[in-house]
């Protein structure tokens, strides 16, 4: 195996282990990592969606086995996210447009990791508010997943908890299933545009499978909902700097 792919696989394993423990796929960090090492902009979303699929499949199964997955929570989100993910994955974007979308997405993710604080104001917890929030958030996150490969669980999980839609474990389970479904839909759409090189996908996929299986098992059965997001967020910050230089300078 090429040394660069081997090192990339180790990094992907660590990302998958950390994120899957709280029901996330790690798509933002995979995307950032691939951008840093210079993957083609045409391949980055497909790779990220494929790795997200592998990680969250194991995570979804683990959370389902532990009876944390509630379809009543998940259904409104995926109702709008699935068509949005397919639409996003079907778009043939120019490199400049893709880089701007990716940059905006990564900046938003970084803000979520480093600046997000539990709101001091009271968030409405009525059923109608929860339903419209679920439908709207599903639409936005599904489109982002299809276009740049970021699954959106990093937003979905805390919002489910803060609005009282579900418990922390239920939120993590819904996040894993949400990312899984939208990654499959987005990947299906992108398969019409590009083919993934198996010599690179197989080692990366094997690494995130192992990391995701271990992380989701510990997260669903034993660990509290904690993550190394602020440490792994350094990858995203580096990618933001490189993208800014590439797009504007």
- Give the C-alpha separation, 22 to 243, whole Å: 28
- Give the C-alpha separation, 79 to 25, whole Å: 20
pLDDT over threshold 70, residue 91? yes
Tell me the pLDDT tens digit for each residue of 154-197: 888 888 887 888 888 888 889 889 999 999 999 999 988 888 88
pLDDT over threshold 60, residue 249? yes
Which pLDDT does position 215 carry in this prediction? 78
Total structural domains within the chain: 1
| Residue that the structure tokens 């660590």 belong to | 14
Which pLDDT does position 120 carry in this prediction? 47
Which pLDDT does position 47 carry in this prediction? 93
Range ranked top by mean pLDDT from 55-59, 104-108, 211-215: 104-108
Tell me the pLDDT tens digit for each residue of 56-71: 887 788 788 888 899 9
The pTM of this model reads 0.85
Torsion angle defined by CA atoms of residues 216, 109, 138 and 66, in that order, rounded to the nearest 10 degrees: 10
Residue 168 structural domain: 3-248
pLDDT over threshold 70, residue 3? no
């Amino acid at each position: 195996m090429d040394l660069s792919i081997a090192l990339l696989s180790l990094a992907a394993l660590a990302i998958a282990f950390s994120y899957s423990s709280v029901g996330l796929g790690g798509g933002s960090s995979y995307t950032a990592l691939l951008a840093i090492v210079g993957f083609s902009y045409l391949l980055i979303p497909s790779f990220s969606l494929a790795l997200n699929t592998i990680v969250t499949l194991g995570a979804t199964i683990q959370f389902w086995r532990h009876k944390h997955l509630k379809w009543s929570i998940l259904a409104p989100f995926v109702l709008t996210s699935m068509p949005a993910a397919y639409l996003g994955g079907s778009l043939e974007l120019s490199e400049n447009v893709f880089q701007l979308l990716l940059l905006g997405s990564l900046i938003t993710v970084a803000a979520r990791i480093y600046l997000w604080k539990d709101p001091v104001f009271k968030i409405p917890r009525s059923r109608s508010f929860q339903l419209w929030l679920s439908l709207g958030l599903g639409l936005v996150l599904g489109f982002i997943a299809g276009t740049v490969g970021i699954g959106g669980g990093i937003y979905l999980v805390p919002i489910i908890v803060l609005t009282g839609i579900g418990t922390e474990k239920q939120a993590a389970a819904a996040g894993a299933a949400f990312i899984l479904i939208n990654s499959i839909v987005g990947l299906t759409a992108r398969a019409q545009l590009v083919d993934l090189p198996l010599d690179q996908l197989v080692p990366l996929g094997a690494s995130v499978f192992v990391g995701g299986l271990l992380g989701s098992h510990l997260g669903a059965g034993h660990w509290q909902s904690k993550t190394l997001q602020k440490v792994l967020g350094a990858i995203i910050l580096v990618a933001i700097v490189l993208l800014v230089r590439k797009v504007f300078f």
